[in-house]
Amino acid sequence: MFITLATDFGTSDYFVGAMRGVILARNPQARIFDITHEIPAHDIRAGAFILLAAYREYPERTVHVAVVDPGVGSARRPILIVTPRYFFIGPDNGLFSYVCEREGEVRAFHLTNERFFRHPVSATFHGRDIFAPVAASLTLGVPPEEFGPPIDDLVQLEPLAPQRVGENEMRARIVHIDRFGNCITNLTRADLTEEMIARGAHLLANGRKISSFRRFFDEGTTDEPFAVWGSAGFLEIVIKLDSAAQKLGLVRGQEIIVRLAGD
C-alpha cells in the first residue's frame, strides 16, 4: 500500500503532482511518499545511489517508483522488478542496478500490458502514463506477471564496488555529494577494513592525502578534511561544519585513490 517516488523531475513543475493524482485516481487508499525529486537531471547513477541509500528503510512490499529517464519514448523498456521484499518500477536504464546488486534475488518484467496504463500514453512522460498507474495497480493486488513478459537482460551500470589495482591500491570514486558538501565514496567497511586502516591505509583525493579516520562530523578540531563512516554505509570525506566538496574541489564521479600502505 506504500508507494515511494524518486525522480529527477524537480518540484516546480506539474510532473510529480500529476503522478500523485494518477495513483490516487486508481487506488485512493495508496499512500505516497517522496524519496526525492531533486536527482540531478538525466543522472542515472545519482538516482541509483539515492534509491540504494533509502529503499531498505521502507516496510516490506513497498513499491518504489523511480524515474530518471532521458530515453523516455525511445526503445528503452519500462520495467517492474520484484525482489522478495520490494517492488521497483521505472525505466530499464541501470537506475535499479545498485539495488539489484544488493537484493540479489530479482525477477523482472517488461511493462507491455497497456490495460494498466493511463491513456493516451504520451511519448514524453511515462512517469505519469506508465509507471504511476502500474504502481497503483500493483498495490491493488494485480500479480506482477500480468503487466508483461519476464525478462532477464536488465541494463546494468558498472558495479558500485571499488577496483583493486595491484597489491597496495584501490580505485574508488565519489558516488554522491550531499547537501552539506560531504563526499560519499563507494567504499564499504568490507572494502576498506579496520585492519587496513590500522596498518596505515589512506585516501588521495585530488592529490590531497586524507589519513584521519574519525567517528562523527563534529569531531574534527581544525579545518582538515577527514574520513568518517557515513549513514549510508559508505566512507565519506568531510570537513567539520564545512563543505569538503568545495574546499577540496571534489565532484561526483571523481576517482579517489586508496593507498593501503606507504604513501
Query: Which residue ranges make up the site for a second copy (CB under 8 A)?
Result: 1-2, 4, 6, 8-22, 24-25, 28, 32-39, 41-42, 50, 53-59, 62, 70-74, 122-125, 128-129, 176, 178-180, 215-219, 228-232, 236, 241
| Length, in residues, of the chain | 263
Minimum Å gap between C-beta 150 and a second copy is: 26
Minimum Å gap between C-beta 43 and a second copy is: 11
Minimum Å gap between C-beta 135 and a second copy is: 14
E strands, the chain, are 2-7, 31-36, 63-67, 78-82, 87-91, 107-110, 150-151, 163-165, 169-177, 183-185, 202-205, 208-210, 213-214, 226-229, 235-238, 255-259
Q: Whose CA is closest to 155, among 109, 95, 101, 104? A: 95
* Closer residue to a second copy, CB minimum distance, 8 or 191: 8
84's CB contacts (< 8 A; 6+ apart) are: 103, 105
Minimum Å gap between C-beta 194 and a second copy is: 15
Cell numbers for 24, please give them: 490516487
* Closer residue to a second copy, CB minimum distance, 65 or 260: 65
User: CA–CA separation, 105 vs 56, rounded Å?
Assistant: 15
Minimum Å gap between C-beta 125 and a second copy is: 3
* Closer residue to a second copy, CB minimum distance, 55 or 117: 55
* Closer residue to a second copy, CB minimum distance, 4 or 83: 4
Where do we find the cell 559508505? 234
* Closer residue to a second copy, CB minimum distance, 32 or 170: 32
* Closer residue to a second copy, CB minimum distance, 28 or 166: 28
Count CB-CB contacts under 10 A for residue 165.
Answer: 11
Strands 63-67 and 78-82: unpaired
Minimum Å gap between C-beta 214 and a second copy is: 9
Using CA atoms in the order 108, 110, 115, 116, what is the torsion angle rounded to 10 degrees?
Answer: 50
